[in-house]
Structure 1
Amino acid sequence: MTPPSLDRCFSMAAFLAFVELRQFLSRHPSLPFSEALDSVKRLKTGASGLDFHAAVTLSSELDQDLPWDSTKKGLRLFVYEWVRLVQPNWLRRVPNGREYVRTALTTDEAQCFREAGLFEHSPDDDAIAWWDKIAALIRGAVDAEKMERARLAERLSLQHEKQRLASLGIEREPKWMSLEDNNLGYDILSFDVSDGLVVSRLIEVKSTLSDTIILTRGEWNNAVSAPTRTVFHVWRLPVQSLIEIPVAAMASHIPQDSGNGVWRDVAVTLSAADC
C-alpha cells in the first residue's frame, strides 16, 4: 500500500500512532522499523483506532530528534511542524486571527487544534507564543513570494531591454545589477541613444498585483540623483504588462517632508495617465 502524503496525516489518530511508534523505537533502538511497527500494532491497547499507515509517513518526514510525546506540548509541536512542512492554504489566514483559521480547518485538523489547547478562550502563554511562531511562518512565506515576484519582474525587464536595444541597433547587453549588488539603487543597467551617443539607462523595477507600488525614500533619492537617465519599470502580474514611468512623471506622486515629519515609504497608486 502506498504511504499517504504528509498533507493527509494531520489527525489525532495519526499523531498518537506516531508517538507510540517513536517511543517504542526509542526503547528498542536496535529493532528494525518494520518489526517495531508490527510490535506496536500487536501490543498497544486500542491500536485499531490509530492510523499507523499515516504514522509511517510522519516517521519519515518529521525530525526524530524532537521531544515527541502525547502531551499537549507534544501535540502543539506536532501541529507546528506539520504546518511548517506542508504550508497549508489556511496558513494565510493566521494574520487575520484564530477564528479565520478555525473556519478553514477540516474536522481532523480542528480536533488537533482543540486538543492542543490552541483555541481556548483564554490561551496560556505557550499557546500565544505558538501562534506568534505560526505567524512568523506566513510572514516568511509572503516575503518569499514577494521576492519571487520581484525577480520575475526583473527578468521581464531584462528581456524587454534586450529586445529594445536590438531594435535601436545598440550592440550592448543590459546587466542585471541587483543580482550582483543590491545596494546600487537600481536593478537593471541598460542603454539608450542621446544626441547620437550611447548613454546608460538606470531602471528601477517594481511589480504589482493591483495598481499600487511601494517606493522607498532611498529608491526615490537614487532616481532623482540621475533623473534623465532613470526610469521606473512597473510590471503588472500575473498578466506581465509593463508600465514605464520616467522620474518626472513619478514626481507628482511623491510627498513632501513637513515640520518634523520625514516620509520613508510611499504607496503610489498608478492612474490611467501613468499607463
Structure 2
Amino acid sequence: MTSSSRFIGGSGSAWLRPSAVEGWRAVSRQLASAPHEPVTKAVGRLKASYSTAGLDFAGGTAILEALGPAVESAHKSYQLLIEMEARRSVPTWLTVLPRGRLAFRDVLTADVHECFRRAGAFSAHPTRDAVEFLDRLANMARAQANLALVESGRTAERKSFDLEVARCATISGAPPVEWVALDDNSAGFDIRSSRCVDGQARPKLIEVKSCRSSPLQMIVTRHEWQTACRNRDSFVVHLWDIATDQLHELSWEYLQHHMPVDQGNGHWDNATLILRGLHAN
C-alpha cells in the first residue's frame, strides 16, 4: 500500500503535524533546486543538514506523493493540506467548524491547532485569504451535513413507499403507489398513495420526514403546508424516528394546531415543529 492510498483511505490526521508539513516543504524546495534528483537522495541531503533537524521526512514524502510539491507560501501550503484532509477523511473537527473559531479551537489536537495557526486561521486580524479558507471549510461541513440529511430523507421515503405498497395491496381498486419526490421534488409531498374510505380507494398524499433527535422535530415549508391545506382530507406527514425506527403518521388536523400564521408584515417561510408525546403508529 502506498502512502497516497493510506491518505485516501485513512484519516490522514498524522500528516497534520508541523514537522510533517515542514518536511514536505523542505523536500519540495530541495527538488525545485535539483529537479532531476531522486526523492530519496533529496531526503538524504536534508537529513544531513543541521537546519532541517527534527523534521518528519517520512510524513513529508508521503504528503509529496499524495499532493505533489508544496507551494512557496507557507500558509498556503498549510491551507492546501488541511483542505485535502477535510475532503478525504471528513475529520470530527470539520463538523464543528461552522459554529465558529472559539468552539472549533476546543476540539483540535495541539498539532492540528498549530497547523491551523500557521494557515492564518486564528489571527486576531485574519487576512481575507484566511477568512475565505475558513469559509471553504465551513461550506464543506455544511455540504456533508446536507448529504447526511438527504440520505436519511431518502431512506425514510423508501420505508414509507414500501409500507404503502404493502398496505395498498389490500385496498380494492387502489392505483399503484407513486414515489413522486423521485421525479418532482416541487410537488409539496413525496408519495402518492391511497386510503380506504367507505370501501373505496381515496387519495393519500404523504410528505415524509425523518428525525433522530429527542424530542422529535421537523421542518415544514410554506409550500408543503399550502399543499396540505389544499388537500386537508388526503394529506399526512410520515415522521420517522430514526433512533427507534418508529413511524408517526400526522394528519392535517393534528398539524394545523402547531403551524404559524402571518401577522402584520411578518411572512413565515419554514416552520420548525418540536413534537412531544407522540405515539408510534
User: Could you tell me the TM-score, scaled by structure 2's length?
Assistant: 0.84
For residues 59-208 of structure 1, what are the structure 2 equivalents within 5 Å?
Answer: 59-62=64-67, 64=68, 68-69=71-72, 71-168=74-171, 173-208=176-211
Q: How many aligned residue pairs are there?
A: 269
CA contact (8 A) 2:31 2:42 kept: no
- 2:177 and 2:186 map into 1 onto residues whose CA distance is 18
Secondary structure at 1:253 match in 2: coil
One-letter amino acid of the structure 2 residue matched with residue 221 of structure 1: Q
Of the structure 1 ranges 152-161 and 114-123, higher mean CA displacement relative to structure 2 is found in: 114-123
Quote how far apart the aligned CAs of 1:78 are.
2.4
Secondary structure at 1:204 match in 2: strand
- 2:117 and 2:250 map into 1 onto residues whose CA distance is 52
- 2:254 and 2:43 map into 1 onto residues whose CA distance is 72
Of the structure 1 ranges 117-126 and 16-25, higher mean CA displacement relative to structure 2 is found in: 16-25
- 1:260 and 1:238 map into 2 onto residues whose CA distance is 39
One-letter amino acid of the structure 1 residue matched with residue 168 of structure 2: L
Name the counterpart of 1:36: 38
- 1:88 and 1:271 map into 2 onto residues whose CA distance is 33
Q: Is the aligned partner of 1:50 residue 2:52?
A: no
Of the structure 1 ranges 116-125 and 137-146, higher mean CA displacement relative to structure 2 is found in: 116-125
- Give the gaps of 5 or more residues in structure 2: none
Secondary structure at 1:156 match in 2: helix
User: Could you tell me the TM-score, scaled by structure 1's length?
Assistant: 0.86
Q: Is the aligned partner of 1:13 residue 2:13?
A: no
- 2:57 and 2:172 map into 1 onto residues whose CA distance is 67
Secondary structure at 1:245 match in 2: strand
Of the structure 1 ranges 215-224 and 93-102, higher mean CA displacement relative to structure 2 is found in: 93-102
1:53-102, Cα deviation, whole Å (9 max, x unpaired) = 2234323433x48x623522322332233223322101122122222222
- 2:81 and 2:180 map into 1 onto residues whose CA distance is 43
Secondary structure at 2:208 match in 1: strand
Distance 1:91 1:173, change over 3 A: same
CA contact (8 A) 1:76 1:116 kept: yes
Q: Is the aligned partner of 1:229 residue 2:260?
A: no
1:10-69, Cα deviation, whole Å (9 max, x unpaired) = 11122122233444555666x5xxx7221121122255523232234323433x48x623
CA contact (8 A) 1:21 1:36 kept: no
Distance 1:59 1:159, change over 3 A: farther
Secondary structure at 2:249 match in 1: strand
One-letter amino acid of the structure 2 residue matched with residue 40 of structure 1: A
One-letter amino acid of the structure 1 residue matched with residue 23 of structure 2: A
Distance 1:2 1:129, change over 3 A: closer
Match of 1:259 among 264, 267, 274: 264
Aligned-pair identity (%): 30
Name the counterpart of 1:242: 247
- 1:235 and 1:264 map into 2 onto residues whose CA distance is 23
- Give the gaps of 5 or more residues in structure 1: none
- 1:182 and 1:7 map into 2 onto residues whose CA distance is 39
1:190-213, Cα deviation, whole Å (9 max, x unpaired) = 122233332332110111223111
Distance 1:48 1:41, change over 3 A: farther
Two-structure CA RMSD over aligned residues (Å) = 2.6
- 2:31 and 2:166 map into 1 onto residues whose CA distance is 62
CA contact (8 A) 2:248 2:278 kept: no
